[in-house]
């Protein structure tokens, strides 16, 4: 039931906070989608933490980024064309696979979309929208990095009263 899932999500977030493995940042953003820059930024942010896995969360990420040998293409603002994102050769420098990342929906061509593309190339980072955070995704990763917008979205989501579906049952009768 929804009440149980909501309570479990609250407990998972509280457990991460109690362990000191819940980090709040102003925004998850980059000015270019270079994996190397995201790797450097996350390593600086997570200096005292084990980096086996990280979850980054923003408000609204659009569809999943697939991992593979093809280069990701990002359209530039004001152009019909696209520009290839650069992949990092430093992927073997860390064998961490337990990081989850969630970011908000990009409002401009700058940061969140670039951050998402750059982080998707890191094997130890997972990017999720705040709506996509689940108990499993939180507990499976070592560190949870939330933007303040994502934290506000989660707080609103967890404090909203549950609708009981009465209207749907009446319509069926």
Is residue 96 domain-resident? yes
Q: What is the pLDDT of residue 51?
A: 67
Q: What is the pLDDT of residue 130?
A: 85
Is residue 10 domain-resident? yes
Domain total of the chain: 1
Which CATH number does the domain housing residue 8 bear?
Answer: 3.40.1370.10
Q: What is the pLDDT of residue 138?
A: 92
**How many Cβ atoms from other residues are within 10 Å of residue 140's Cβ?**
14
Helices within 2-145 (DSSP H only): 2-19, 35-45, 111-120, 135-140
Q: What is the pLDDT of residue 53?
A: 85
Is residue 83 domain-resident? no
The DSSP bridge partners found for residue 1 are none
The rounded radius of gyration (Å) of the Cα atoms in the chain is 18
Is residue 73 domain-resident? no
Q: What is the pLDDT of residue 18?
A: 96
pLDDT in tens for each of the 173 residues of the chain? 888 999 999 999 999 999 999 998 887 777 777 888 888 888 888 888 876 788 887 765 554 444 433 444 444 455 444 443 333 333 333 334 455 554 444 444 456 777 788 888 888 888 888 888 999 999 999 999 988 888 998 999 899 887 766 665 555 55
Q: 27 lies in which domain range? A: 2-62+90-161
What are the E-state strand segments in 28-105?
Answer: 54-58, 73-75, 82-84, 99-102
Q: What is the pLDDT of residue 7?
A: 94
Q: In this structure, are residues 47 and 100 in contact, taking their beta carbons and an 8 Å threshold? A: no
Q: What is the pLDDT of residue 8?
A: 95
Is residue 81 domain-resident? no
Is residue 153 domain-resident? yes
Q: What is the pLDDT of residue 166?
A: 62
Q: What is the pLDDT of residue 170?
A: 56
Is residue 85 domain-resident? no
Q: What does pTM read for this prediction?
A: 0.65
Is residue 141 domain-resident? yes
């Amino acid at each position: 039931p929804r009440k149980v899932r909501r309570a479990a999500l609250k407990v998972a977030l509280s457990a991460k906070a109690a362990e000191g493995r819940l980090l709040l940042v102003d925004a998850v953003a980059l000015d270019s989608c270079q994996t190397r820059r995201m790797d450097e930024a996350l390593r600086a942010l997570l200096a005292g933490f084990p980096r086996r896995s990280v979850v980054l969360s923003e408000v609204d990420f659009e569809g999943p980024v697939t991992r593979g040998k093809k280069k990701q293409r990002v359209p530039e603002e004001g152009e019909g064309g696209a520009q290839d994102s650069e992949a990092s050769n430093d992927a073997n420098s860390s064998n961490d696979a337990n990081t989850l990342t969630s970011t908000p929906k990009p409002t401009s061509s700058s940061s969140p979309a670039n951050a998402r593309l750059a982080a998707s190339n890191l094997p130890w980072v997972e990017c999720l929208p705040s709506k996509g955070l689940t108990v499993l995704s939180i507990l499976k990763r070592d560190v949870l990095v939330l933007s303040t917008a994502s934290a506000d979205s989660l707080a609103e989501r967890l404090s909203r009263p549950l609708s009981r579906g009465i209207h749907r049952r009446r319509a069926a009768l």
